[in-house]
Amino acid sequence: MEFEPVTNIKGVGAETAETLKELGIHHVQDLLMYFPFRYEDFRLKDIVETPHNEQVTIEARVESVPVVFFMGKNKSRLQVSVLTGRHIVKVVFFNQHYLKERLTPGTIITVSGKWNRARQTITASSVKFGPKEQSQDFEPVYRLKGNLHQNRFRKFMRQALDLAKGELPENLPREIRERYKLLSIDEALEGIHFPKDANHLKQARRRFVYEELLMFQLRIQALRKTRKENEKGIAIQYDLKKLKEFIGQIPFELTNAQKRVVNEICRDLKSPYRMNRLLQGDVGSGKTIVAAIALYACVTAGYQGALMAPTEILAEQHFASLESLFQPAGVNIALLTGSTKTKERKQILERLEKGEIQVIIGTHALIQPDVVFHQLGFVITDEQHRFGVEQRRILRDKGMHPDVLFMTATPIPRTLAITTFGEMDVSVIDELPAGRKQIETHWLKKEQFHACLAKMETELKKGRQAYVICPLIEESEKIDVQNAVEVYEQLRGMFQGRFEVGLMHGRLPSEEKDQVMRAFKDGKIHVLVSTTVVEVGVNVPNASFMLIYDADRFGLAQLHQLRGRVGRGDYQSYCVLLANPKSEEGIERMKSMTELADGFRLAEKDLELRGPGDFFGKRQSGLPEFKLADLVHDYRVLEVARDDAAKLVYDEKFWRDEEYKYLRKMLEESGALSGERID
Ligand code: ADP
Ligand code: MG
């Protein structure tokens, strides 16, 4: 049944079959799985509550003898008064004068059309005689091509449904359907195409959303399982006593979230499976210390650890903080970047190969072919979204099967974490160290620029530093954004002889970028005008002020990242968003920034406002396309599906029972069982 060609449907000839093919419909089953993208809503509405110009369907009794006007050849206008509820309204039909005979006073009709509130008139698009039947509440509307029209397509669908009834395989086992009270495949197909009523449609949708998300999660969970079984990792037997001593000499108490995350990572290190874990933590939540503890654990077991950062500045920053922690503990640590001098580099490589260097921090320089480890056990990559899959793989392959931890300060909403990082374990530091001062965030209109500068100057006079963020570096005809170079010139003129202004953007050679950044760190530059290149991880605790130009051009997640560059020291810090947003959504984003400090809540908000596609940026989103499921609205189902899938792949009956045959087949076809997909 399922693979019958569509031409078996009455009315589908060779030509129509071609058009259907363009829609991806080859077999009857494809047709059935071609879902409407919306529905015409014919539910009865109270005319009094219907807004002007809206579609409405009413049941009414004809009250007057229709009047017909002819307006030239084949053109007519028929008008009749009807009673609906307690209201008399007019109904107008164009070019259907023949209805006059049937619209005799007293006749009950169901009429749909556009409601003109001012004129108390419905311009009818359809009329049925007699009271309304519930089965006509919704009419499916499909995305179609060519000369295929809705009515014809609906007829094909009707036939297909009748043909398929009782013949289609049920993908979902009874046990699951009963647990969640899901419709059977037949009922659900009927409900998605020709729902009896609103509830039928809802239940049909519920079934298909669950099915879709379960299939998706089964692939991820099966992949995880296959990996765990096939990849031999290293069991890193760290020295708990030493580790506790190390933690004991850290100058502050770990937050509960840090403790929990350290435990999760250490458990992974000790297990013989390969760690594949994502560590998420808002800016300033203290990820570095967690990384240090994990690296130290690895060292006590006699393995080497590596930490890879996306820029030299970040690598240096990590090196500086880890060195001060590791020195007292007697750990040999080295820094390797593109600017490491040849002679020094040679030395480092030798010592690394012998195993004398226990922890190495670096940039891409760590993945050059001549970098050889003695016994690499653990790799951490910071801000993993900046690294390509390939680079991570190369580094991993340098070890035997090192454990891998990805750190990111980009809070990823739960639902996206489940979908995009579903194959990873996720640890979250969801708590900031106590006593942090909240960054005061203000939203100003561009006209208030001078007030903003005055505030900045106050901070500069106190000896603080400031960031000024501009969206683009060059004038663009298409978008009217501030030009970083222009802003730089302007501020330089204004602060001449008083404060140093620096410029930083992505087009600068990386050496120059580093120089500028270093000068800012050292306090030689007071105001840094920059594009978003400062976004990630840079730590200048003396900076207490940030101005973001055209802030409405950024997403919430990015604004939050930027804002995290200030408030890193003991000073009260400020962030001013300069923006005249044009859209409601832009206004909403500016408000959210002034109200919310928590990166995760902002990320959820961002997702809600912009949808999953825009959250990561369209091209790199890596988000799966779903037919019905919507990650924002259906995330609870997603969580349920994930838990179910995670259990199923370890359940014998899943691999054995007839009922699970279709799910197994789908898994086989997806390649998840052979572990083909890498990252
Ligand atoms: P991020 O997660 O943004 O990388 P860092 O690791 O750079 O955060 O930590 C930010 C600052 O907070 C650092 O100066 C660090 O020493 C400090 N810090 C980290 N954990 C704690 C803690 N539990 N208590 C107090 N300060 C902490
Ligand atoms: Mg960090």
Dump pLDDT digits (tens) for 650-661: 999 999 999 999
Place of tokens 């899901």: 182
Q: If you take atom 20 of ligand 1, which residue's CA is the nearest one?
A: 286
Q: Which ligand does the CA of 288 lie closest to?
A: 1
Helix (H) or strand (E) holding 113: strand 108-116
Any idea what the CATH number is for the domain that residue 92 is in? 2.40.50.1010
Shared-domain flag, residues 481 and 525: yes
pLDDT of 413 higher than 80: no
Q: Which ligand does the CA of 429 lie closest to?
A: 1
Mutate to test the pocket of ligand 1, among 247, 250, 261, 285 (most ligand atoms within 8 A of CB): 285
Distance 292 CA to ligand 2 centre (A): 11
Shared-domain flag, residues 516 and 444: yes
Distance 456 CA to ligand 1 centre (A): 26
Please give the structure tokens belonging to residue 571. Answer: 């000073």
Does residue 198 sit in helix, strand or coil? helix
| Residue in 663, 678, 521, 679 with CA at minimum distance from that of residue 211 | 663
104 is a domain residue: yes
Distance 577 CA to ligand 1 centre (A): 26
Distance 481 CA to ligand 2 centre (A): 30
Q: Which ligand does the CA of 290 lie closest to?
A: 1
Shared-domain flag, residues 460 and 535: yes
Helix (H) or strand (E) holding 266: helix 256-270
Top mean pLDDT of 138-142, 228-232, 262-266 is at 262-266
Shared-domain flag, residues 34 and 50: no
Q: If you take atom 16 of ligand 1, which residue's CA is the nearest one?
A: 286
Task: Please identify, among 596, 625, 655, the residue that sits at the C-terminal boundary of a domain.
Answer: 596
What does the pLDDT read at residue 473? Answer: 54
Shared-domain flag, residues 94 and 159: no
Distance 283 CA to ligand 2 centre (A): 7
Q: Which ligand does the CA of 314 lie closest to?
A: 2
Which is higher by pLDDT, 16 or 484?
A: 16
Query: What average pLDDT does range 309-335 have in this prediction?
Result: 90
Task: Please identify, among 575, 596, 617, the residue that sits at the C-terminal boundary of a domain.
Answer: 596
User: pLDDT tens-digit profile of 489-502?
Assistant: 999 999 999 999 99
Task: Please identify, among 542, 561, 596, the residue that sits at the C-terminal boundary of a domain.
Answer: 596
Q: If you take atom 5 of ligand 1, which residue's CA is the nearest one?
A: 286
659 is a domain residue: no
The pocket of ion ligand 2, defined by CB under 5 A, consists of 537
Pocket of ligand 1 (CB under 6 A): 252, 254-255, 258, 281, 283-289, 409, 433
With contact defined as beta carbons under 8 Å apart, do 409 and 537 qualify? yes
Shared-domain flag, residues 468 and 585: yes
Contacts of 660 (CB under 8 A, 6+ apart): 173, 648, 653, 654
Ligand 1 atom with the shortest distance to the CA of 291: 6
Distance 549 CA to ligand 2 centre (A): 25
C-alpha 562/C-alpha 549 separation (Å) is: 12
What does the pLDDT read at residue 480? Answer: 41
Ligand 1 atom with the shortest distance to the CA of 253: 23
Average pLDDT value over all residues in the chain: 86
Bridge partners of residue 334, in order along the sequence: 360
Q: Which ligand does the CA of 291 lie closest to?
A: 1
Number of DSSP helices (H) and strands (E) in the chain, helices first? 22, 21
Helix (H) or strand (E) holding 15: helix 14-22
Name the DSSP letter for residue 374.
S
Mutate to test the pocket of ligand 1, among 247, 282, 288, 318 (most ligand atoms within 8 A of CB): 288
With contact defined as beta carbons under 8 Å apart, do 376 and 360 qualify? no
The domain in which residue 12 lies consists of: 6-38+145-196
Contacts of 258 (CB under 8 A, 6+ apart): 285, 286, 289, 290, 429, 431
User: pLDDT tens-digit profile of 437-456?
Assistant: 889 999 999 899 889 999 99
Query: What average pLDDT does range 347-375 have in this prediction?
Result: 92
583 is a domain residue: yes
* CB-CB neighbours of 52 under 10 Å: 10
Shared-domain flag, residues 460 and 543: yes
656 is a domain residue: no
Bridge partners of residue 619, in order along the sequence: none
Query: What average pLDDT does range 39-64 have in this prediction?
Result: 89
User: pLDDT tens-digit profile of 613-638?
Assistant: 555 543 334 456 788 888 777 878 88
586 is a domain residue: yes
Any idea what the CATH number is for the domain that residue 520 is in? 3.40.50.300
Distance 262 CA to ligand 1 centre (A): 14
What is the tally of structural domains in the chain? 3
Model pTM? 0.67
Distance 599 CA to ligand 1 centre (A): 16
Mutate to test the pocket of ligand 1, among 250, 280, 283, 289 (most ligand atoms within 8 A of CB): 289
Place of tokens 């920053």: 317
22 is a domain residue: yes
Helix (H) or strand (E) holding 112: strand 108-116
| Residue in 359, 550, 529, 534 with CA at minimum distance from that of residue 446 | 550
What does the pLDDT read at residue 482? Answer: 52
Distance 650 CA to ligand 2 centre (A): 37
Ligand 1 atom with the shortest distance to the CA of 282: 2
Please give the structure tokens belonging to residue 598. Answer: 């928590």
C-alpha 448/C-alpha 272 separation (Å) is: 59
Name the DSSP letter for residue 532.
G
pLDDT of 267 higher than 90: yes
